[in-house]
Amino acid sequence: MGGVTSSMAAKFAFFPPNPPSYKLITDDATGLLLLDHFPHRENVDVLRLPTRRGTDIVAVYVRYPMATSTLLYSHGNAADIGQMYELFIELSIHLRVNLMGYDYSGYGQSSGKPTEHNTYADIEAAYKCLEESYGTKQENIILYGQSVGSGPALDLAARLPRLRAVVLHSPILSGLRVMYPVKRTFWFDIYKNVDKIPLVKCPVLVIHGTSDEVVDCSHGKQLWELCQEKYEPLWLKGGNHCNLELYPEYLRHLKKFISTVEKSPLRRNAGRRSTDGIEQPRRSTDCFDAPGRGSEWKEKAENLELELQQCYKAQSRLSEQLVVEVAESRASKAALEEKETAFTDLQKELAQTRDECSQLKVDLEEKIKALELVVSENHSLRKQLEEMIVKAKNAEAENKILVDRWMLQKMQDAERLNEANALYEEMVDRLKASGLEKLAQQQVDGVVRQSEDGAECFVESTVPAACKRKITAHEGGCASIMFEYNSSKLISGGQDRSIKMWDTNTGSLIRTLYGCLGSVLDLSLTHDNRSVIAASSSNNLYVWDANSGRVRHTLTGHIDKVCAVDVSKISSRHVVSAAYDRTIKVWDLQKGYCTSTIVFHSNCNALCFSTDGMTICSGHVDGNLRLWDIHTGKLLSEVAAHSLAITSICLSKNGNVVLTSGRDNLHNLFDMRSLEVCSTLRATGNRVASNWSRSCMSPDDNYVAAGSADGSVYIWSISKADIVSTLKEHTSSVLCCSWSGLGKPLATADKNGIMYTWA
Residue 664 sits in a domain whose CATH number is: 2.130.10.10
Task: Supply the residues annotated as catalytic.
Answer: 147, 212, 241
CB-based contact 672:656 (threshold 8 Å): yes
Region 471-485: mean pLDDT is 94
Q: Is 298 part of a structural domain of the chain? A: no
Residue 311, pLDDT score: 67
Domain boundary among 213, 232, 263: 263
Ranges 133-142, 407-416, 532-541, 669-678: which has the least confidence: 407-416
Region 530-536: mean pLDDT is 96
More confident position, 285 or 523: 523
User: Which residues, listed in sequence order, are joined to residue 544 by a DSSP beta bridge?
Assistant: 532, 551
The Cα–Cα gap between 525 and 532 comes to 5
Angle at 310 between CA 309 and CA 313, to 5 degrees: 90
Burial class (CB within 10 angstroms; exposed 0-12, middle 13-18, buried 19+) of 680: exposed
More confident position, 223 or 447: 223
**pLDDT tens figures, 545-601:** 999 999 999 999 999 999 999 999 888 889 999 999 999 999 999 888 899 999 999
Q: Is 284 part of a structural domain of the chain? A: no
Q: Is 572 part of a structural domain of the chain? A: yes
pLDDT at residue 288 greater than cutoff 70: no
Phi, psi of 556 (to 5 degrees): -110, 150
The Cα–Cα gap between 498 and 483 comes to 17
Which residues lie below 8 Å from residue 453, measured CB to CB, with a gap of 6+?
Answer: none
Angle at 687 between CA 682 and CA 692, to 5 degrees: 105
Structural domain containing residue 251: 28-263
Residue/partner pairs of 172-181 with CB below 8 Å, 24 or more apart: 172/147, 172/148, 172/215, 172/219, 173/219, 173/222, 173/223, 175/8, 175/9, 175/12, 175/116, 175/151, 176/8, 176/12, 177/219, 178/12, 178/214, 178/215, 178/219, 179/11, 179/12
Residue 623, pLDDT score: 96
Residue 266, pLDDT score: 62
Q: Is 35 part of a structural domain of the chain? A: yes
Q: Is 535 left (phi over 0), alpha (psi -120 to 50) or beta?
A: beta
In the chain, the number of structural domains is 2
Residue 300, pLDDT score: 76
pLDDT at residue 508 greater than cutoff 80: yes
Residue 420, pLDDT score: 82
Residue 4, pLDDT score: 44
Burial class (CB within 10 angstroms; exposed 0-12, middle 13-18, buried 19+) of 412: exposed
For 630, 654, 675, the CA distances from 612, given in Å and listed in that order, are: 11, 11, 17
Dihedral over Cα of 505, 508, 511, 517: its sign: positive
Ranges 37-46, 268-277, 294-303, 571-580: which has the least confidence: 268-277
3-state secondary structure at position 267: coil
Residue 309, pLDDT score: 67
Q: Is 160 part of a structural domain of the chain? A: yes
For 69, 147, 152, 597, the CA distances from 165, given in Å and listed in that order, are: 10, 17, 15, 71
CA atoms within 13 A on the CB side of 110: 38
Query: Which is nearest to 116 in space by CA: 208, 49, 196?
Result: 196
Task: Give the DSSP letter of residue 743.
Answer: S
pLDDT at residue 684 greater than cutoff 60: yes
Q: Is 611 part of a structural domain of the chain? A: yes
Region 523-530: mean pLDDT is 93
The Cα–Cα gap between 746 and 468 comes to 9
Residue 160, pLDDT score: 95
CA atoms within 13 A on the CB side of 109: 19
Domain boundary among 224, 247, 263: 263
**pLDDT tens figures, 181-209:** 888 888 888 999 999 999 999 999 999 99
Residue 571, pLDDT score: 84
* Count of other CB atoms within 10 angstroms of residue 497: 21
Region 23-39: mean pLDDT is 90
User: Which residues, listed in sequence order, are joined to residue 683 by a DSSP beta bridge?
Assistant: none
pLDDT at residue 450 greater than cutoff 50: no
The Cα–Cα gap between 563 and 523 comes to 9
pLDDT at residue 403 greater than cutoff 60: yes
Residue 302, pLDDT score: 74
Cα 365 off chain centre by: 57
More confident position, 64 or 330: 64
Average pLDDT, the chain: 88
**Cis amide bond preceding 16, omega within 30:** no
The CATH number given to whatever domain includes residue 142 is 3.40.50.1820
CA atoms within 13 A on the CB side of 676: 6
3-state secondary structure at position 32: coil
CB-based contact 716:723 (threshold 8 Å): yes
| Helices H / strands E in the chain, number of each | 9, 42
Residue 483, pLDDT score: 95
The structure's pTM equals: 0.44
**pLDDT tens figures, 626-640:** 999 999 999 999 999
Domain boundary among 236, 263, 290: 263
User: Which residues, listed in sequence order, are joined to residue 531 by a DSSP beta bridge?
Assistant: 545
Expressed in angstroms, the distance from the first to the final Cα of the chain is: 69
Which residues lie below 8 Å from residue 330, measured CB to CB, with a gap of 6+?
Answer: 66
For 60, 129, 226, 273, 508, the CA distances from 95, given in Å and listed in that order, are: 17, 21, 27, 40, 79
Residue 298, pLDDT score: 76
Q: Is 300 part of a structural domain of the chain? A: no
Region 447-476: mean pLDDT is 71
Q: Is 338 part of a structural domain of the chain? A: no
Query: Which is nearest to 272 in space by CA: 312, 303, 307, 317?
Result: 312
For 67, 119, 163, 611, the CA distances from 615, given in Å and listed in that order, are: 83, 70, 86, 8
677-681 and 696-697 as β-strands: parallel, antiparallel, unpaired? Answer: unpaired
CA atoms within 13 A on the CB side of 509: 13
pLDDT at residue 96 greater than cutoff 50: yes
* Count of other CB atoms within 10 angstroms of residue 26: 10
Residue 264, pLDDT score: 82
**Cis amide bond preceding 161, omega within 30:** no
User: Which residues, listed in sequence order, are joined to residue 204 by a DSSP beta bridge?
Assistant: 166, 230
For 152, 279, 504, 509, 522, the CA distances from 608, given in Å and listed in that order, are: 69, 119, 25, 28, 12
More confident position, 578 or 295: 578
